[in-house]
Structure 1
Amino acid sequence: MSESKTQKLMEVSTKPASGFRDFLGLEAKKRSELISTIERTYESFGFEKIETPSLENIEVLLGSGGQDNEKLIFKILKRGEKLLEILEKGENQETDLADLGLRFDLTVPLCRLVAEYRDKIALPWKTFHIAPVWRAERAQRGRYREFLQCDVDIVGAGGIGAELEVIQAVVKAFANLGVNEIELHLNHRGIIEALADKFGFGEKKQAFAILLDKRDKLSAEKFESALNDLSGAKAPTELLEILGGKSKASDFEKLAPEAYKQIFEIEEALSRLSLGLKDVKFNPSLVRGMGYYTGMVFEVMHASEGLALGGGGRYDKLIGRFSKRDIPAVGFSLGFERLLLLLEKTKEASSGLRRIFIPVFDEKLRVAVLKLAAELRDHGIECDVYPDADKLKSQLKFASQKNYRWVLMAGEDEIQSREFKIKDFSTGEEESVAQGHLPNHFKRLFSLV
């Protein structure tokens, strides 16, 4: 290779693209463990797992009610002769140049899938989908261009039983992950529409809803100013008080009777289910962004941290965009990346604690060590055998760097006597355990962390 080519190769940045991330070792393992817990929780409710392609035809993604997210689609250029033909014609609009796009959420692909396989799906259908999505927004701390969503949906059920079960499944997932202090915020698109009609935004309902959705990102002064601009007059004090939290769902019993009825029934049912929620709050300014919601909308908040950890709602018209008839549906999307940030702040990382490390004292002992590790793995014990010939000091340093707590000493004397020393890196203590008792001994140790 020439010197100039070598220089160019050395100058290539090895950092991931802006807004994208790499995950190594323990971090990747921690993510995998959390995903497994969420999957097991959803499956325990009878939800079935689905997978869809990362790429969708661009017409599937556009006009699906994704609002601002449709402006953030990573579009894929047409290729080969098709692209050349368009360029020669001078048709350089984005819609002409692109025919595919990366999905910006998991709800739109689900609706396309239901329409495609309707004759193979028994309704009501309970399903979950855990996968990455992509949005071409400005990358910043805590906001990425590629991130994971954990969706749980019920298709083909129009009653509030569907809302209750997706809420119950998500709250149970949080509980299984050790996340407490969960608040559930509720609203209904009927409430938003009733407010728009009452206070003169009837012809600007969509713009009114979009502004409400941005309320938490604006100061009180900027929000009121934007509301004034939208209405063309000073915003009524009554509206500002309602949006500021000075209202109850019962205040809308006459203004939006059907919306109030659903909120009341869900609140009443949740109180009887005793899910362990810290609070259930009516929030008349809750919109949840997506224009495809048609009824109940909800959001999960962590009380002490003030973090929104996910949300969702009912979207009874979206599947009809891809098929000849509407099919009722409701879903909840758990925000995996924020959940991970919360767990990192509130819980000690456990990855590496439930796995043992086995150094190789001498290469002539390697086969015996590998056989010992295989026996432990057969009992469900994760083992990491050092793969290279190295000094014991270097191997133990490696174990410390990898955050292993327990080291199984398997020297020549231990292998012959079938009595092994176990060292606890967190305390420095050692104990001897007979080979036949090792699996149960490690399971007992793991149960304590």
Structure 2
Amino acid sequence: MDNSPARGTRDLLPDAVATRDRVLGLIQEIYRRFGYQRIETPALERIERLTGGQGGENEKLLFRVLRRGLDEQLPAGPLADLVDLGLRYDLTVPLTRFYSQYRAELPQPFRSFQFGPVWRAERPQKGRYRQFYQCDIDLLGEPSVLAEAELIEATTAALAAVGLTGTTVRLSDRRFLAALAGAAGVPAEARAGFFVTVDKLDKIGWEGVSAELVAARGLPVEVVASARDKIGSLTDLPADKVADVLAEVVPTLPEEVAQDLATTARSLAELPEVRWSFDPTLVRGMGYYTGQIFEISHPGSAGSIAGGGRYDELVGRSLGTEVPACGFSIGFERIVDLVTPAPPAEQLAVLFEAGVPVPTALAVARRLRAERGAVVSTVRRSGKFPAQLARLEGWGFTGFVSVKAEQDLTELPDVRQLRGDQEAQ
């Protein structure tokens, strides 16, 4: 029998889990200081909620769950008739259902923090898994750009707390993108495809993007050239010039959109440790974004390590009334691969021989934990002493105490180090 995990999933050994726990703890503490409260939602959601057309390409990667009671011989008919549930592909869609159900019991505005696994039927490859973890914060009920600015500040602080430096925040707006496409002459029916192609700019460059827009999207050469010129004039904008330059390059852009982007930019400019840029080519693939969108890049990652935006219409589909909402998701798997492992904490073994009563061994371990604050495990003596010490070091232990039968334990035995202790060897 093949004992490997399911394709596109993976097992995590204790060292990996310890690193993930440490990173999550640091992130959670930062978000707690900003007022975000942790919630949990189920892995399974009703299929109609997951297939509402707002998940973009992710809906094509949905794992569907067959209804209970079906025999091994599936009945004929459309697949939709056989499915009533699906595994969540992100944490945002379940959050909107959660908020709609419990809104009356939640503080307003509501600051939500979530961490948990999601599933997508990806083609397994390096760095892409069918089961992976997301780490999200969302601010629901806040209509102003306070939400965008706070989410970005909290997330950059969380990334700094885990030791990730050199990050850059990229900022744009879905409403700006629509106005830009219109000003360049892109027909309304062609804009979705236009955005999909522009989103590839960092992968295929302007020559590839231009060629695809003309050949595959059918846009006139002069329209593509106009879009390229406008985008080129909007790079490297300082915070105090964002509103004016946007109004000049895209005259049809509503003043409110330009001012909101300028406010977010000014808020970021006041954070001395945060690098940011207005990125007119930032698109993001989820169909539910309605306003500002943002991503965080890191030189050690080929893709973004965090991303989010405003999705004012999504909650209203469940609640029946519009609720402003904005969220930011950290790519947990990616940042775990980027962080520097923490130095090993003191981890001691109480090596006790066969004649030592179990209560005695446990008492020694208890005293060591209390007096040294260390991680302490009781381990029976077995085999050759040097070989057992080598095994302990391989398992992550940093030191040990030896407890023998009839030993006077009025004082704790001396702790002997495993790493670099030639005497112990």
TM normalised by structure 2 equals: 0.89
2:320 paired with 1:335: no
Structure with greater proportional helix content: 1
Q: How does 1:282-361 map to 2 (within 5 A)?
A: 282-303=278-299, 305=301, 307-343=303-339, 347-350=340-343, 352-361=344-353
2:239 paired with 1:251: no
- Find the counterpart in structure 2 of residue 233 from structure 1: 220
Structure 2: which 5+ runs fail to align?
none
- Find the counterpart in structure 1 of residue 409 from structure 2: 416
Cα pair 1:153 1:331 within 8 Å, conserved: yes
Q: How does 1:360-399 map to 2 (within 5 A)?
A: 360-364=352-356, 366-378=358-370, 380-387=373-380, 389-399=382-392
Pick closer, same or farther for the CA change 1:294–1:38 going to 2, 3 Å: same
Structure 2 counterpart SS, 1:222: helix
Structure 2 counterpart of 1:287, one-letter code: V
Deviations along 1:85-123, one digit per CA (max 9) or x if unpaired, are xx54x32x2322211100000000000111112222231
Cα pair 2:356 2:406 within 8 Å, conserved: no
Q: Give the alignment partner of residue 173 of structure 1, picking from 158, 164, 168.
A: 158
| Bigger shift: residues 125-134 or 384-393 | 384-393
Cα pair 1:356 1:408 within 8 Å, conserved: yes
Aligned-partner Cα distance in 1 for 2:423–2:166: 39
Instruction: Quote how far apart the aligned CAs of 1:62 are.
Output: 0.6
- Find the counterpart in structure 2 of residue 140 from structure 1: 125
Structure 1 counterpart of 2:37, one-letter code: E
2:195 paired with 1:209: yes
Deviations along 1:24-77, one digit per CA (max 9) or x if unpaired, are 221122212222222222112211111011010000101241110000000111
Aligned-partner Cα distance in 1 for 2:256–2:54: 23
Aligned-partner Cα distance in 1 for 2:108–2:12: 38
Structure 2 counterpart SS, 1:421: coil
Aligned-partner Cα distance in 2 for 1:387–1:155: 54
Structure 2 counterpart SS, 1:17: coil
- Find the counterpart in structure 2 of residue 42 from structure 1: 31
| Bigger shift: residues 235-244 or 67-76 | 235-244
Instruction: Quote how far apart the aligned CAs of 1:166 are.
Output: 1.4
Pick closer, same or farther for the CA change 1:83–1:365 going to 2, 3 Å: closer
- Find the counterpart in structure 1 of residue 266 from structure 2: 268
Structure 2 counterpart of 1:73, one-letter code: L
Structure 2 counterpart of 1:334, one-letter code: I
- Find the counterpart in structure 1 of residue 51 from structure 2: 62
- Find the counterpart in structure 2 of residue 5 from structure 1: none
2:69 paired with 1:75: no
Instruction: Quote how far apart the aligned CAs of 1:207 are.
Output: 2.2
Instruction: Quote how far apart the aligned CAs of 1:315 are.
Output: 0.6
Structure 2 counterpart SS, 1:260: helix
| Bigger shift: residues 75-84 or 41-50 | 75-84
Structure 1 counterpart SS, 2:179: helix
Instruction: Quote how far apart the aligned CAs of 1:263 are.
Output: 1.6
Aligned-partner Cα distance in 2 for 1:205–1:340: 36
- Find the counterpart in structure 2 of residue 444 from structure 1: none
Aligned-partner Cα distance in 2 for 1:118–1:305: 37
Aligned-partner Cα distance in 1 for 2:300–2:2: 40
Structure 1 counterpart SS, 2:293: strand
Structure 2 counterpart SS, 1:154: strand
Pick closer, same or farther for the CA change 1:262–1:421 going to 2, 3 Å: same
Instruction: Quote how far apart the aligned CAs of 1:213 are.
Output: 2.8
- Find the counterpart in structure 1 of residue 8 from structure 2: 19
Pick closer, same or farther for the CA change 1:99–1:216 going to 2, 3 Å: farther
Structure 1 counterpart SS, 2:295: strand
Aligned-partner Cα distance in 1 for 2:93–2:270: 33
Instruction: Quote how far apart the aligned CAs of 1:83 are.
Output: 9.2
Instruction: Quote how far apart the aligned CAs of 1:219 are.
Output: 4.6
Aligned-partner Cα distance in 2 for 1:298–1:150: 16
Aligned-partner Cα distance in 1 for 2:87–2:289: 21
Cα pair 1:77 1:83 within 8 Å, conserved: no
Aligned-partner Cα distance in 2 for 1:363–1:392: 16
Cα pair 1:73 1:136 within 8 Å, conserved: yes
- Find the counterpart in structure 2 of residue 6 from structure 1: none
Instruction: Quote how far apart the aligned CAs of 1:384 are.
Output: 1.9
Aligned-partner Cα distance in 1 for 2:279–2:292: 12
2:102 paired with 1:113: no
Structure 1 counterpart of 2:40, one-letter code: E
Pick closer, same or farther for the CA change 1:184–1:77 going to 2, 3 Å: same
Instruction: Quote how far apart the aligned CAs of 1:387 are.
Output: 4.8
Structure 2 counterpart SS, 1:384: strand
Structure 2 counterpart SS, 1:171: helix
Cα pair 1:424 1:430 within 8 Å, conserved: no
Deviations along 1:145-164, one digit per CA (max 9) or x if unpaired, are 11100001111001111112
Aligned-partner Cα distance in 1 for 2:147–2:355: 60
Cα pair 1:363 1:389 within 8 Å, conserved: no
Cα pair 2:398 2:418 within 8 Å, conserved: yes
Cα pair 2:297 2:303 within 8 Å, conserved: yes
TM normalised by structure 1 equals: 0.84
User: Sequence identity of aligned pairs in percent?
Assistant: 33
Aligned-partner Cα distance in 2 for 1:243–1:189: 14
- Find the counterpart in structure 1 of residue 172 from structure 2: 187
Structure 2 counterpart of 1:309, one-letter code: I
Structure 2 counterpart of 1:207, one-letter code: G
Cα pair 2:112 2:137 within 8 Å, conserved: yes
Instruction: Quote how far apart the aligned CAs of 1:299 are.
Output: 0.6
Structure 2 counterpart of 1:216, one-letter code: D
Instruction: Quote how far apart the aligned CAs of 1:81 are.
Output: 5.0
Instruction: Quote how far apart the aligned CAs of 1:404 are.
Output: 2.3
Question: How many corresponding residue pairs?
Answer: 410
Q: Give the alignment partner of residue 82 of structure 2, picking from 65, 75, 97.
A: 97
Instruction: Quote how far apart the aligned CAs of 1:424 are.
Output: 3.0
Aligned-partner Cα distance in 2 for 1:369–1:395: 18
